[in-house]
Structure 1
């Protein structure tokens, strides 16, 4: 399987929207089942989380880029790891009160829910992108590969 690196903007938007759509459905269904809560509430939390993460991503990376310009550091593996941890800590801080409000949870329980969502996204992101690349190759990529005669 060969991975296409020159995807169109349209395909990249499709990829991102499908990623969020599937994640939101899976999260809402799992939380509703696991926590014995309304699908409406868990779906609202999932949607608000996705929107908050998108806005936070923009703000955080703008601030981080500004800090890098000011401090002049390089993006080493350690800096990238700190970047990822700081992003997730900020996201958890923003979303914990929302989970408390929407799901009627204590601070500690809402914190656990948000940390669980972070842990969900690590394997989900890997699996989603792997499967997306495979199905893209299966339905689109193979047709573009030249047929060789023996």
Structure 2
């Protein structure tokens, strides 16, 4: 399993790269000033950072208990990304509508756009991260 230091590096890299791309993309797509999108994106990033740490920790514990290993197959990565984004969608929708003074429908469309972006970002980032910072198999993982 990953160390706490590695999980923090993973989470911070994920959020910083995602935030930089997302603010630019959402400002352009929805014709909002970056100053309007920036604060809600940063707040969402903080929520996502905390969620990311605990979600991945729980997911890895589940994987280790269920399969004896934390390495994810392609279907596991897809499920992992969808479950993560679904949780954020539920948490973030009311905040977007309130902060930007838009309807829940408009906030939903914006939130879905962000979720789609982060689904793609999560898949690519996590796959790349696992390649660059590979998890070393332990002796108990090698036996399964």
TM category (shorter chain) comes to 0.5 to 0.7
Tell me the equivalent position of 1:122: 119
Larger Rg: 1
**Kept after mapping to 1: 8 A contact 2:11/2:53:** no
- Aligned equivalent of 2:105: 108
The runs of 5 or more residues in structure 2 that have no matched partner are 57-65, 67-74, 135-144
List aligned pairs for 1:49-88, cutoff 5 A.
Answer: 49-55=44-50, 85=83, 88=86
Alignment gaps of 5+ in structure 1:
1-5, 62-74, 138-150
- 1:57–1:16: structure 2 CA closer, same or farther, 3 Å change rule? closer
TM-score (ref. length: structure 1)? 0.59
TM-score, normalised by the number of residues in structure 2: 0.61
Question: How far, CA to CA, are the matches of 2:41 and 2:84 in structure 1?
Answer: 21
User: 1:100 touches 1:107 (CA, 8 Å); kept in 2?
Assistant: yes
